[in-house]
Amino acid sequence: MCVFCAAIPTTLTLGSVAEARQREAQRLGAGQASPRPKRIPALALAGLAAAGLLAGSVLYHTGRLS
């Protein structure tokens, strides 16, 4: 399996794990008086990264990127 093809599911997995950790931190912090941690759109960013990797994979496998 090429590097692009292997990185796509890894990227999506890491994005979903980051999203779950953020939701858990917000859930735990909701009952406290401290300010909520800043939330980044981890799953959306992982989706964009996966789309870029998919484009790179297509270019690589069609021979346009050597």
Structural domain boundaries in the chain: 3-29+40-61
Q: What is the pTM of this model?
A: 0.80
Digit-coded pLDDT (tens) for 4-54 = 899 999 999 999 999 999 998 888 877 776 676 678 899 999 999 999 999
CA-closest candidate to residue 7, choices 66, 59, 41, 57: 57
pLDDT at 64 over 90: no
